[in-house]
Amino acid sequence: MLAGAVCLAVGEYRLGDVNAVPIEQQYSVWSLAVNLTQRTTWYGIDIQSSDDWGKPFGRGDFTKPMPVNVTIASPAGDVTRLQLFLYGEKSTSPYYQLGAPPTIVEVKYQNVSAGLSVDYSTPHIRFTPKQDGPYNVTVLKDGFWSAEPPDYILFLKEVTPDRETYSLLATGGGVVCTLGGIIFIVSLFKNRNGKRRSRK
């Protein structure tokens, strides 16, 4: 039972060891479409700010996180709408007010389409596709403070190293642990029954 519990713990721990692998990246674009496979894993989207996006933060015009409207279209045409909230520090130099490119500090989903399942617990775009085919992410220009597109848009795929090995280890460990528990309980009852008979 102990060996099974150890195998189960190791397998489950290693299954949580996830690497984010880039699968598609384009620079200076407002939108990017990538073919994804349904329900296989979690995917992420990283939208990197351009230098121009940081100018209002560097000047001190923006003092709180600012929203950027984004859409994700599924292969069936369903659209998920969300807002990225960007924040950048004010420049410390009176002569250089560009500031560092602002970073994403929060994601708010305004709606979630039938084409994907999202992770609400992270301040990043993270989702599992429910359909096979191209998913298109678009940064909307309307109402945006900069005429420049993002520095880049990047699709990431979460991969567990040696997933098959650790899945087998976790499953086998669970089975061994369960069998060990059953054997322990059966032997415990047998010992109690034996003691009662010997007293008679």
Q: How many other β-carbons are positioned within 10 Å of the β-carbon of residue 197?
A: 8
CA atoms within 13 A on the CB side of 4: 14
Q: pTM for the full model?
A: 0.72
Same domain assignment for residues 94 and 170: no
Residue 188 CA to residue 127 CA, distance in Å, equals: 47
Same domain assignment for residues 123 and 180: no
Same domain assignment for residues 66 and 110: yes
Same domain assignment for residues 1 and 57: no
Same domain assignment for residues 76 and 40: yes
What is the total count of domains within the chain? 2
Same domain assignment for residues 73 and 149: yes
Tens digit of each residue's pLDDT, the chain (200 residues): 555 444 334 334 443 578 899 999 999 999 999 999 998 789 999 999 999 999 999 989 999 999 999 999 999 999 999 999 999 988 877 666 666 789 999 999 999 999 999 999 999 999 999 999 999 999 999 999 999 999 999 999 998 775 444 444 445 544 545 665 566 566 666 665 555 555 55
Q: Which amino acid is at 180?
A: G
Same domain assignment for residues 171 and 110: no
Range of the domain at 118: 18-159
Same domain assignment for residues 85 and 8: no
Same domain assignment for residues 136 and 39: yes
Q: What is the CATH number of the domain that holds 67?
A: 2.60.120
Same domain assignment for residues 3 and 28: no
Look at strands 103-111 and 19-27 and give their pairing.
Answer: unpaired
103, 86 contact by CB (below 8 A): yes
Q: What SS3 state is found at 132? A: coil
Same domain assignment for residues 117 and 181: no
Same domain assignment for residues 48 and 117: yes
